[in-house]
Amino acid sequence: MDGFHPVRLRTVLLAAALLLPAGTHADYAVLRNGQRLHITGHERIGDQVKLHLHGGYALIAAAELVRIEPEDFRNAPAVAPQPPVSEPFGEWIAEAARSHGLDPALVASVIAVESGFDPRAVSRRNAQGLMQLLPSTAAQLGVQDNFNPRENILAGTRYLAELLARFAGDLRLALAAYNAGPGRVVEHGGIPPIAETRSYVERVLNEYHRRAGVLPDRSGNPLSR
């Protein structure tokens, strides 16, 4: 299949939904057009992504896939959304998210877990600032001052967006790579068996759901469940 064919894919999805047994574990593929597809797995094939559906599969252009969201994120109870602009550094979070096509609530969630919104935070591994960038990573991203909140947010958000693109929109893998490094994710073919990293991924996802309240689309606008 070349590109994305909404009518054909909707037909496949309807059939898959009818076949999907209650309680079957699946994730959600979030597409650029706002659709969320219930999938049982996915794999990158060149410039396409193969989405595994119960009883079949669909091929879409990789550029059409925004991210993969875990099922437990979607099924968690809804809470009132908290606009990131009300957070400390909210305007810069919104600016960075808009520049790199991410949800501001996701960026705010990473900051909350990484540094607790402390722009002077330094980890035992010398990760620095709001988004806890290592000096080497910050230098690669063109950061002049890792403790400058705006610079750190813009660079950290860019890095997160690059990781999402590298791992075909899989949010869990991108977060694991942000914490442990992309090399370890590639080496293990998934989230590495590191307790800190596994805990980090779940903490960010939980924080993301708490802040978003409802699932956001690519621009950060909430979608009804």
Q: What is the pLDDT of residue 78?
A: 42
Q: Decide: residue 21, CB within 10 A, 0-12 exposed, 13-18 middle, 19+ buried.
A: exposed
Asked if 99 and 157 sit in the same domain, the reply is yes
Query: In what helix (H) or strand (E) does residue 150 lie, and over which residues does it extend?
Result: helix 149-166
pLDDT in tens, 129-164: 999 999 999 999 999 999 999 999 999 999 999 999
Q: Are residues 29 and 112 in the same domain?
A: no
- Mark which of 18, 38, 69 sits at the end of a domain: 69
Say which of 64, 69, 87, 114 is annotated catalytic: 114
Active site residue 114: yes
| The pair of three-digit structure tokens given for residue 143, joined into one six-digit string | 């950061």
| Cross-strand pairs, 77 | none
Do 61 and 36 share a structural domain? Answer: yes
Do the domain assignments include residue 223? no
| In a shared domain, residues 59 and 95 | no
User: Do 144 and 187 belong to one domain?
Assistant: yes
- Same domain for 49 and 153? no
55 and 108, same domain (yes or no): no
Rounded-to-integer distance, Cα 105 and Cα 5, Å: 30
Domain shared by 176 and 108, yes or no = yes
110 and 203 belong to one structural domain:
yes
Q: Which domain holds residue 90?
A: 84-212
Domain assignment of residue 221, yes or no: no
**106 vs 29 pLDDT, higher one:** 106
- Read off the CATH number of the domain in which 56 is found: 2.30.30
Structural domains counted in the chain: 2
pLDDT tens by residue, 64-111: 888 887 765 544 444 444 444 456 899 999 999 999 989 999 999 999
Q: What are phi and psi of 167, to 5 degrees?
A: -105, 35
Q: Do residue 53 and residue 149 come from a single domain?
A: no
- The CATH number given to whatever domain includes residue 139 is 1.10.530.10
Establish if 224 belongs to a structural domain: no
Burial class (CB in 10 A: 0-12, 13-18, 19+), 20: middle
Binning pLDDT at 50, 70 and 90, where does residue 58 land? confident
Q: What is the CA radius of gyration of the chain?
A: 18
